[in-house]
A = this chain, B = another copy of it.
Amino acid sequence: MLAASILLQNRLLAALPPAELEQLALNMEQVTLPLGKMLYEPGEQLSHAYFPSSAIISLHYVIESGASAESAGVGREGMLGVSLFMGGNSTTSSAVVQTAGLAFRIDRQHLKAAFDQGGALQKLLLRYTQALMTQMSQSAVCNRHHCIEQQLCRWLLLTLDRLTPDVNLATQIKGATPPLPELVITQELIANMLGVRREGITEAAGQLQAKGLIRYRRGHIAVLERHGLEQRVCECYGVVKKEIARLLTDVGGEKTGPA
C-alpha cells in the first residue's frame, strides 16, 4: 500500500477527491517500467491498469509487414488500460514503454469496482478516454498530411510535456529540475513510433539540430529551443494539447461548457 500523497504525481489521480484517492491507494502499487517493455500485447487480456508518474507509454499497432504506427501516447496526464472499464478488456494495439520511469498500477478487478461506483473517478476516466480518442484521430490526420519534420516536432513536444513536472507539484520534486530537458531514445525507436524510416528521422533531426533547436548524441536528445519546435510543429500538437487541458481541468463542471 502506498501513501496517497505520492500518487499525486499522476495528474489523473491528483484530480480525484481525497477520499476516493485514499480508497484507490489501498490497491495500488508502484512499478518501474524499463524502456522497451511491452505492457500489453494485442488481443491479450489485461491484468492491470497503469497510471504513469514519470514513465511514458506508447500505444501503437503493428501491421503484418512488421511496420507500425503510434496512435497515442500516455504519460503523467493519463492512464493505460481504458479497455478495462470500457468493457472490451483488451485492445488491438500494443503498449510499449517509450520512456523508462515509474508508474502506479492497480489490478483489473479493483479498478473496475472503483469505476463502477460511479464517482469522480468514473467521470475523470471517461473524460480522459475522450482525450485519448482525440489523440488517435489526430494521429490519423497527421499521418496523412504532415511531413516527417512536423511530426517529429509534435512527438518531441508531446513527450517533453509529459516529462516536465507540474509547477504546482514542484514542492514534491526533491531534485532540481533539469535545465535542459533530455529524452533518452534512439532515432530508430522514434521512427518506429511515427511509422517512418530511421533515415527519415536522421534527416529531420539533423535539420532541427542544424537550426540549433535540439542537440543529438547517440540515444539522447536535448531540446535547446522549445520555442523553435513550436514554430515548426503542425497544428496537431496544439489540438491534442488543448483538448487534454480542456477535458482534464474543468472536471466536475457539469455546465453546458463552452460553445
Contacts and interface: CB of A to CB of B under 8 A. Distances in A.
Nearest to A132: B133
Contacts of A71: 136-137, 140-141
Interface in A122-172: 123, 126-127, 129-134, 136-141, 143-145
Contact of A145 (B67, B133, B234): B67
Interface stretch (A201-209, A215-223, A251-259): A251-259
Which of A65, A126, A234 has the most C-beta atoms of chain B within 10 angstroms of its own C-beta? A126
Contact of A143 (B43, B44, B144): B144
B145 A140 contact: no
Interface in A95-141: 116, 118, 123, 126-127, 129-134, 136-141
Nearest to A118: B118
A246 interface: yes
Interface in A40-56: 43-45
Interface stretch (A15-23, A80-88, A182-190): A80-88
B45 A130 contact: no
B86 A130 contact: yes
A191 B141 CA distance: 14
A167 B43 CA distance: 28
Count the copies: 2
A72 interface: yes
Contacts of A145: 63, 65, 67, 69, 195
Interface in A216-250: 234-235, 239, 243, 246-247
A89 interface: yes
A138 B239 contact: no
Contacts of A258: 43, 45, 90
B88 A138 contact: no
A59 interface: yes
Contact of A243 (B45, B92, B129): B92
A257 B91 CA distance: 12
Interface of A: 43-45, 59, 61, 63-65, 67-72, 82-83, 85-93, 116, 118, 123, 126-127, 129-134, 136-141, 143-145, 195, 234-235, 239, 243, 246-247, 251, 256-259
Given A69-B140, A69-B145, A88-B257, 4 more contacts: A61-B239, A63-B235, A137-B139, A144-B195
5 contacts: A63-B141, A86-B127, A86-B130, A89-B256, A91-B134
